């Protein structure tokens, strides 16, 4: 031990006392500030706290560090969902939804962007948008669950977790995400007013009809059937030049009735999701 300023080091007694936590506060502070810039004294501290218990404790911490290095990093969507107050397990299940992946959401934006751009270029503003917007949550729901699409489907079947709960959880979040995107896109439409929101009830109606059909058919088949019907209806209306009627009271009331009917089917038959899950 030397006493010249700048060359002060811990002696063996002080090292021992610091490791045993019997130094007083000021001495400890002095030791700690010195340790930050002296590798030699850090080594002395490490050598002194090399009793089996301390070594085992540090080895355990290190094992946990390695485990967490190996663990997959939590993705942005999972963190976002968790931040919104969903439990960690549900967040993981939601983030595994194929139609909640960033790539999927990006392609949705692209489709909506084209629809909006097309609406700007024509007089019959919004017909194409009205065609595309309700199909987006339908496609999302179809891709949210099922043996053909979900890479974690078999894991999901084996898990002690109700399939209907998983399905509904995912569908609701897909619906919120895609309807949110479509809503933002609708604001960019040239025509203002009610027609901007005209897609909302059809979107809900078609999505619930898809879910209702899924109690009997596979999600992909149900979605395809619903989408095809919708496209045929809209194309026919365009030919008759009656697209404006979609935003009218009669059509919207019909969609409302469709929503109620489809929701009733889903509620009554939701057990089918669980029993059909092994398919």
Site residues (vs another protein, CB under 8 A)? 1, 3-5, 8, 11, 13-14, 18-19, 21-30, 32-37, 39, 42-43, 45-46, 49-50, 54, 57-58, 60-62, 64-66, 68-69
Report the alpha-carbon distance of residue 67 to residue 79 in Å, rounded: 20
* Distance of closest approach, residue 134 Cβ to another protein, in angstroms: 43
Report the alpha-carbon distance of residue 165 to residue 144 in Å, rounded: 13
Report the alpha-carbon distance of residue 240 to residue 126 in Å, rounded: 16
Report the alpha-carbon distance of residue 222 to residue 215 in Å, rounded: 9
Q: Which is nearer to another protein, 52 or 160 (CB)?
A: 52
SS3 for 110-147, per residue?
HHHHHHHHHHHHCCCCCHHHHHHCCHHHHHHHHCCCCC
Q: Which is nearer to another protein, 23 or 272 (CB)?
A: 23
Residue pair 186/132 in contact by the 8 Å Cβ criterion = no
* Distance of closest approach, residue 167 Cβ to another protein, in angstroms: 32
* Distance of closest approach, residue 32 Cβ to another protein, in angstroms: 6
* Distance of closest approach, residue 94 Cβ to another protein, in angstroms: 23
* Distance of closest approach, residue 100 Cβ to another protein, in angstroms: 25
Q: Which is nearer to another protein, 50 or 184 (CB)?
A: 50
Report the alpha-carbon distance of residue 218 to residue 244 in Å, rounded: 33
Q: Which is nearer to another protein, 54 or 107 (CB)?
A: 54
Residue pair 182/203 in contact by the 8 Å Cβ criterion = yes
Report the alpha-carbon distance of residue 50 to residue 63 in Å, rounded: 17
Chain Cα centroid distance, residue 116? 26
* Distance of closest approach, residue 227 Cβ to another protein, in angstroms: 43
Q: Which is nearer to another protein, 27 or 229 (CB)?
A: 27
Q: Which is nearer to another protein, 74 or 176 (CB)?
A: 74
Report the alpha-carbon distance of residue 1 to residue 4 in Å, rounded: 9
* Distance of closest approach, residue 153 Cβ to another protein, in angstroms: 32
Q: Which is nearer to another protein, 69 or 279 (CB)?
A: 69
């Amino acid at each position: 031990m030397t006493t010249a300023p700048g060359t002060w080091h811990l002696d063996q007694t002080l090292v021992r006392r610091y490791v045993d936590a019997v130094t007083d506060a000021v001495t400890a502070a002095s030791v700690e500030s010195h340790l930050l810039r002296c590798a030699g004294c850090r080594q002395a501290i490490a050598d002194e706290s090399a009793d089996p218990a301390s070594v085992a404790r540090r080895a355990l911490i290190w094992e946990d560090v390695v485990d967490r290095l190996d663990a997959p990093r939590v993705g942005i969507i999972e963190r976002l969902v968790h931040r919104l107050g969903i439990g960690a397990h549900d967040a993981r299940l939601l983030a595994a939804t194929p139609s909640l992946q960033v790539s999927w959401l990006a392609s949705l934006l692209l489709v909506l962007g084209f629809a909006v751009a097309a609406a700007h270029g024509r007089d019959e503003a919004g017909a194409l948008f009205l065609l595309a917007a309700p199909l987006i949550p339908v496609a999302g729901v179809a891709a949210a669950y099922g043996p053909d699409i979900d890479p974690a489907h078999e894991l999901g079947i084996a898990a002690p977790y109700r399939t209907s709960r998983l399905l509904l959880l995912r569908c609701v979040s897909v619906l919120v995400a895609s309807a949110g995107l479509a809503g933002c896109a609708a604001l960019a439409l040239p025509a203002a007013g009610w027609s901007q929101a005209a897609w909302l009830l059809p979107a809900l109606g078609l999505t619930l009809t898809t879910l209702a059909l899924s109690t009997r058919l596979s999600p992909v088949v149900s979605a395809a059937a619903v989408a095809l019907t919708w496209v045929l209806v809209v194309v026919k209306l365009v030919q008759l030049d009656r697209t404006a009627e979609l935003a009218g009271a009669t059509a919207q009331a019909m969609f409302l009735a469709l929503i109620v009917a489809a929701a009733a089917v889903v509620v009554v038959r939701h057990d089918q999701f669980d029993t059909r899950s092994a398919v």
